[in-house]
Amino acid sequence: MKITKAVIPAAGLGTRVLPATKAMPKEMFPLVDKPAIQYIVEEAANSGITDILIITNRGKGIIEDHFDRIPELEKNLLLSKKNETCDIIKQISYISNVFFLRQKEAKGLGHAVLQAKSFVGNEPFAVLYGDDVIISEKPVCSELISSFEEFGLAVVGTQKIKDSEISKYSSLKVKKIRKNIFRCDDMIEKPNKNEVMSLYAILGRCVLVPEIFDILENTEPGNGGEIQLTDAMRILAQTRGMIAVEYSGTRHDVGSKFGTAKACVQIAAEHPEIGNKFKLFIKEFAKSL
Ligand code: UTP
């Protein structure tokens, strides 16, 4: 079955990047000249997704505004002969069909995904975490969709994490199928040292099957008192098996200070307009470090 729907949970409180997130959703952090969530919506659209549900909450209304048209601004840009900028602004509203739904309480990523039940219906769907921007040649979401099409099992995107860091992430029990593709039969969220199954963690992307909703409905709050998506995926992995795809590309967690800073640096350095100037600045700046 072709995957055409995606869910982007973007209703987290963003406490790791306060005070920036006091009034501004982290998903709207500008990475040079585009908000983080636009990169994610573009990745989904470039992976064949036509319908995207963004899970928001109070105070995240500007995400909706960003994907809407602003006729006054467009008129103003045309009057000042900024036709190209006007086109860029307009196109944002047509990247994909974007829908919004509010998570009434921030009860965790699993709870956020559960809100998508009626939007998704009885189809497999992609989940792109709203604070994980991945810069890669091939959209990571499309790599996961290809694996779903090949194996008919739910898929998680993964990369290796440092030993010292794995307890902040999830850990996957994996068995190599080929190159960057693994079978995954178990996983654990934020493992203690003796619970680590491998250094492969779930990072920002997955493709799920509709059975996940029944599991989520019966998932008790786990780590941090939140309904954890990993706890529900664990049951899926144990009962049906899942696939893990080690993707290439650079992931930036804009829900963290370090992630936001390095996303800005990479995007600025590769930017067609300011890239060369920025690289000169960085080289000069590096000398002072
Ligand atoms: P995170 O755990 O990174 O987000 O969730 P958070 O809760 O904002 O993090 P803190 O407060 O800095 O620790 C990953 C993704 O899931 C969304 C977030 O917006 C983020 O995109 N999320 C998380 C929800 O949509 N709802 C929630 O209840 C929790």
- Report domain extents, the chain: 5-286
pLDDT at 195 over 90: yes
- Report the percent of the chain where pLDDT is more than 90: 97
Mean pLDDT score across all residues of the chain: 96
CB of 139 closer than 6 A to ligand 1? no
In a mutational test of the pocket of ligand 1, which residue from 41, 109, 231 has the highest number of ligand atoms less than 8 Å from its CB? 109
pLDDT value at residue 16: 96
CB of 181 closer than 6 A to ligand 1? no
When pLDDT is averaged across residues 169-192 and rounded to a whole number, the result is 96
pLDDT value at residue 224: 84
When pLDDT is averaged across residues 254-259 and rounded to a whole number, the result is 97
Per-residue pLDDT band at 1 (split at 50, 70, 90): confident
Per-residue pLDDT band at 253 (split at 50, 70, 90): very high
When pLDDT is averaged across residues 95-114 and rounded to a whole number, the result is 96
What are 155's strand-pairing partners? 207, 243
pLDDT at 223 over 90: no
pLDDT value at residue 203: 97
76 phi and psi angles, rounded to 5 deg: -60, -45
Per-residue pLDDT band at 222 (split at 50, 70, 90): confident
230, 206 in Cβ contact below 8 A?
A: no
pTM: 0.96
Nearest to 144 by CA among 202, 187, 193, 89: 202
**Rg of the chain over CA atoms, in angstroms?**
19
Per-residue pLDDT band at 35 (split at 50, 70, 90): very high
> Which residue has its alpha carbon closest to ligand 1 atom 1?
12
pLDDT value at residue 67: 96
Closest atom of ligand 1 relative to the 9 alpha carbon: 25
Residues 63-80: tens digit of each pLDDT:
999 999 999 999 999 999
pLDDT value at residue 218: 94
Q: Rounded distance, CA 46 to CA 86, Å? A: 22
pLDDT value at residue 257: 97
CB of 20 closer than 6 A to ligand 1? no
pLDDT at 110 over 90: yes
* DSSP H or E stretch at residue 200: strand 200-208
pLDDT at 59 over 90: no
CB of 197 closer than 6 A to ligand 1? no
As to burial, measured by CB atoms within 10 angstroms (0-12 exposed, 13-18 middle, 19+ buried), residue 137 is: exposed
Kindly indicate whether the domain formed by 5-286 is annotated with CATH number 1.10.760.10: no
Cα-to-centroid distance, 288 and ligand 1 (Å) = 36
CB of 239 closer than 6 A to ligand 1? no
When pLDDT is averaged across residues 164-187 and rounded to a whole number, the result is 97
Closest atom of ligand 1 relative to the 56 alpha carbon: 25
pLDDT at 9 over 90: yes
